[in-house]
Amino acid sequence: MSATGTIAGNKVKNIRHLSLAELQEYFLSIGEKKFRTKQVWEWLWKKGAASFADMTDLSIELRQKLGENFSLPSMAVDATQYSADGTIKSRFRTHEGHLCEGVLIPSNSRFTACVSSQIGCSLSCKFCATGYIDRKRNLDFDEIYDQVVMINRECEERNGKKLSNIVFMGMGEPLLNYSNVLKAVERITAVDGLGMSPNRVTVSTAGVAKAIRKLGDDGVKFKLALSLHAPNDEKRSKIMPINESNNLASLIDAMNYFYKQTGGEITLEYILFKDFNDSQKDAEELLKIYRQVPSHMVNLIEYNPIDAASFEKPSPERVDEFMGFLSRNKVNVHLRRSRGKDIDAACGQLANKNLVLS
């Protein structure tokens, strides 16, 4: 989506793509007081206004003038689905009709929003439902922000609490939408935005080495997660085509650079597939990678079946053996139990299916 929209045949700028200084300049140019800037900025970035009509402390005349001079395209909830375990999946619709999905994941100690960064995905990971959908376009930073606002609203209505964590683990590859993801995080964490701590934000990547190094150069404050899923290049290339151009050696080097520049927390994510990456030898190779990276933790993830792939999850005994080996070798390893499997909201299952609403 471009920064412009169309009203009565005229191109107008998306008001959320203005800086604070540009917004102030506009108000001064039409003879309005400076305080109008703060009023509207709060509506845009703290109160999550979806239209100029929502800005109820502005005069009708000023709201009409804003509508004539700017657009305010926003995401809307298209459908919602509720899991038996409390997970909530929302399908969002962009102003021009594209769809993406986000998930609210509740647990005893936290409420996590999983958000999307692209419409579809170009990486074609063999185990991921989104990987079988063509990438339509990147999401703009304000559209990513909208997902957080709407999931937070759902969280407050259902649980009486605000979101505690944000993970960029939904549809798309965040680091192939670099500038919009960083701008979205800035708005989510800014004091004059949603005010969340960057330590509560995790960006997950399939492994774009150049972009990981750029995160280091840009001194980001959020956490990084690498979707590893295989302990050597041969296996990883079979399930993640991106490994052909971003092999493990380049990723290990990039993650070390990221940590040196930021000191940021790094998690290695590893989905276990039956008879593919769950053997003792695989665990030994994973251990070698772990020891080369300043990784905070290895997240083992239950595989969630999708229609397009024939992978299976290992037996609980096999998982225990894999985990046990890592633990005995002083790896901080955690098994992430899948949530929302009954509504295709678990890791790797987001695919914009027709939602069966409850």
- Give the DSSP letter of residue 320: H
Q: Two tokens at 71?
A: 């657009």
User: Alpha-carbon distance 105 to 90, whole Å?
Assistant: 11
The whole-angstrom separation of Cα 222 and Cα 188 is: 11
**Quick check: helix, strand or coil at residue 352?**
coil
**Contact in structure between 120 and 134 (CB atoms under 8 Å):** yes
Q: Annotated catalytic sites, by residue?
A: 101, 347
Residue 297 CA, distance from chain mean position: 19
Close Cβ partners of 135 (under 8 Å, ≥ 6 residues apart): 118, 119, 120, 121, 122, 172
CA gap 178, 211 in Å, rounded: 8
DSSP track, 232-281: SHHHHHHH-GGGGTS-HHHHHHHHHHHHHHH---EEEEEE--TTTS-SHH
Distance CA(29)–CA(172), nearest Å, equals 40
